[in-house]
Amino acid sequence: MKDNQLEKIISAVVQISVEGFTETDLSEVLDPRNIRTSYWAGSGAFIRLQNQEGYILTNAHVVKNGFRFKIRTMLTSEETFEVSLVGMIETSEPDIALLKLENDELQRMKKIIPELPSLELENEDLIKRDMNIRAIGYPLGMEEPNVSSGKVTNFVYGTETECERIVTDAAINPGNSGGPAISENGKIIGLNTAIALGANNIGYITPVSFIKIVLHNLITGKNTYLTNLGCHFQKNSPDNARYLQAPNHDGVIVTTILSHGLIENAGLKTRDILLKINEFEFDSHGIIKNHSDLRHRNIHDVVRLIPLDTELTLEYLREGKKFTTKTKALPFPEENLYTANNLLKRKFISYKGMVIQEVNFLVIEALAEFASEKFDHFIELLAKDKRKLAVTYVGLNSYARDIDINIGDIICRVNGQTISTIIELEKLLQDSFHSKQEVVIHFESGALGIFKTTKLINILTPLLLNEKQND
């Protein structure tokens, strides 16, 4: 890579400063009223999107739970510019987000830099082991971009919950997150994302293939969700194959099918053996059979890179007979359970000494510490695609504690109506206030609460509380 090329690349890398919320302990998950404002920093890179400038690629975990973002570059000295969040992967899998300089700030920056630098995305087929790369960013609060050199040393294929990653020995440190990993061609092969704790020179890069599919979703007006099978499956084996009347043990066995997901729409059933999606065939571990590179890619990696709403072809075995079907690429059908992990989207109600939230994965993780005896029940509810409201906090001197309402209690009925969402609860509480009626809450535990609503109840978010505190 020539020196002038490297200079151009460095000039396109920005430092991102974030103001937002961090959850320093699980008690803040259960009682979001106590979440505090924090500040942190990461890195990003300018790209052009639909021939428009001012877009910045970064990691989702850099901007997650942030509500104010600023950037600066070497070309603007200490000058900072506010940017807005275009979209992000809520689960940080893949770990990608997109920011944008809005028009006023873009024009202000262009008075200093008439032509904004930008980086292009590399062809993913060129990414091989032992290729030279550079990891660029602002690690450890450095005032100028840091460049570390290394190679692509390995690949880690995806799982049901994690995406494929590129492995590198180039130095990646806190603050590097979201900065670009650059090929010898000067193009982005991915985003510097994480390190392996306790290891020497093992860092992880979110691949450019995922960047492209996320950008595609954003510019076509879709959300940032990726295609998902909407099922669980197990590895095949010779004995399982024989029992299921299959000629060999290729393919994976469908074990659980989620409602409204891709596999349900395709008409598959449990115990079907999924053999092929489009041109990709799978072995008994779900690894692609006809992949030419010396690396493993699996069923999850293939499915996530299929654009939403496109048609795909599935081949499967049922009772020894082979079938082919077509269906539409769909996202994970329980995305609401994931997106609630974003604090800015998590809604709750504070009522009579209780904090009430919809059950999601993060809340369940926190409840495992404070109501471990109910953990299995929560997991069972999620497996059955059941939305539920849970009491996640009870004040020490509250009326709710006096009548023996406990953390982890699940609300099943309010004033005789079965409810499962925060919006439904708010409406019933408001109706009770206006009609001056008592509120009768039934819990799955058998507990009963009779309350008088003396003021209007509103759905809250941590961001709303923060704005009220700053009024």
Q: What is the DSSP string of 385-438?
A: T---EEEEEE-TTSHHHHTT--TTPEEEEETTEE--SHHHHHHHHHHHHHHT-E
- Give 163-194 pLDDT, tens digit per residue: 999 999 999 988 899 999 999 999 999 999 99
User: What integer best gives the mean pLDDT of the chain?
Assistant: 89
What mean pLDDT is predicted for residues 444-456? 90
pLDDT of res. 24: 62
Rounded mean pLDDT of 388-399?
Answer: 92
- Burial of 320 (C-beta count, 10 Å sphere; 0-12/13-18/19+): exposed
Residue 331 is given by DSSP the state B
pLDDT for the residue 40: 94
Residue 166 or residue 37, greater confidence: 166
- Mean predicted confidence (pLDDT) in 389-397: 93
Q: From CA 420, how far away is CA 402, in angstroms rounded?
A: 25
pLDDT digits (tens, 9 = 90+) for 130-142: 999 999 999 988 8
Comparing 2 with 86, which gets the higher pLDDT?
86
Mean pLDDT across 395-402:
93
Cis peptide before 94 (omega within 30 of 0): yes
C-alpha to C-alpha distance for 364 and 120, rounded to whole angstroms: 41
pTM value is 0.87
Q: What is the pLDDT of residue 382?
A: 61
Nearest to 305 by CA among 448, 435, 463, 124: 124
pLDDT for the residue numbered 456: 86
Would you say 444 and 412 are in contact if contact means Cβ atoms under 8 Å apart? Answer: yes
What is residue 360's predicted lDDT score, i.e. its pLDDT?
79
Domains and CATH numbers, the chain: 3-112 (2.40.10.10), 124-219 (2.40.10.10), 231-328 (2.30.42.10), 342-469 (3.20.190.20)
Residue 295, class by beta-carbon neighbours within 10 Å (0-12 exposed, 13-18 middle, 19+ buried)?
middle
Please tell me the predicted confidence (pLDDT) of residue 384.
58
Over residues 400-411, mean pLDDT? 92
**Beta-carbon contacts of residue 310 (< 8 Å; ≥ 6 apart):** 328, 329
Quote the pLDDT of residue 471. Answer: 43
**Cα gap 314→324, rounded to integer Å:** 6
The SS3 call for residue 448 is strand
**Residue whose C-alpha is closest to residue 60's, from 29, 100, 91:** 91
Residue 374 is classified by DSSP as G
Place of tokens 């994931």: 338
Contact at 8 Å (CB) between 48 and 56? no
CA nearest to 392, candidates 364, 426, 427, 373: 364
pLDDT recorded at residue 341: 61
Confidence class of residue 385 from pLDDT cuts 50, 70 and 90?
Answer: low
Q: Which pLDDT band, with edges at 50, 70 and 90, does 369 fall under?
A: confident
Q: Under 8 Å CB-to-CB from 198, ≥6 apart: which residues? A: none
- CB count in 10 Å sphere of residue 243: 10
Q: CA-CA distance, 265 to 108, in Å (whole number)? A: 50
The mean pLDDT of 328-347, rounded to a whole number, is 71
| pLDDT recorded at residue 469 | 57
Nearest residue to 197 via CA among 166, 174, 164: 174
For 424, phi then psi, to 5°, come to -65, -40
Residue 394 · residue 401 · CB < 8 Å: yes
CA distances from 209 to 8, 166, 312 (A): 23, 11, 19
How large a percentage of the chain has pLDDT more than 70? 92
Q: Which token pair is 127?
A: 């990414």
Closest by Cα among 241, 414, 217 to 306: 217
- Pair type for strands 66-72 and 52-58: unpaired
Check whether 258 has a pLDDT greater than 90: no
Q: Which residue has the higher pLDDT, 91 or 16?
A: 16
pLDDT band at 426 (very low <50, low <70, confident <90, very high): very high
% of the chain residues with pLDDT over 90: 66
Both structure tokens of 18: 């974030």
Banded pLDDT at 247 (limits 50, 70, 90)? very high
Q: Indicate the pLDDT class of residue 344, thresholds 50, 70 and 90.
A: confident
Amino acid at 372: S
Instruction: Find the helix or strand (DSSP H, E) in which 465 lies.
Output: helix 462-469
Question: What 3-state class would DSSP assign to 200?
Answer: coil
Question: 56 and 14 in contact (C-beta within 8 Å)?
Answer: yes
pLDDT per residue as tens digits for the range 63-98: 988 999 999 998 988 899 999 999 998 888 899 999
**Ramachandran quadrant class, 446 (left: phi over 0; alpha: psi -120 to 50; beta: rest):** left
Token code pair at residue 118: 């930008």
Please tell me which residue, 379 or 174, carries the higher pLDDT value: 174
H/E element, 393: strand 389-394
Question: In whole angstroms, what is the distance from residue 98 CA to residue 372 CA?
Answer: 38
pLDDT at 339 over 70: no
pLDDT higher than threshold 50 for residue 270: yes
Mean pLDDT of 385-411: 89
Q: Which residue has the tokens 């005789």?
A: 416
pLDDT tens, 292-322?
667 888 899 899 999 999 999 999 999 999 9
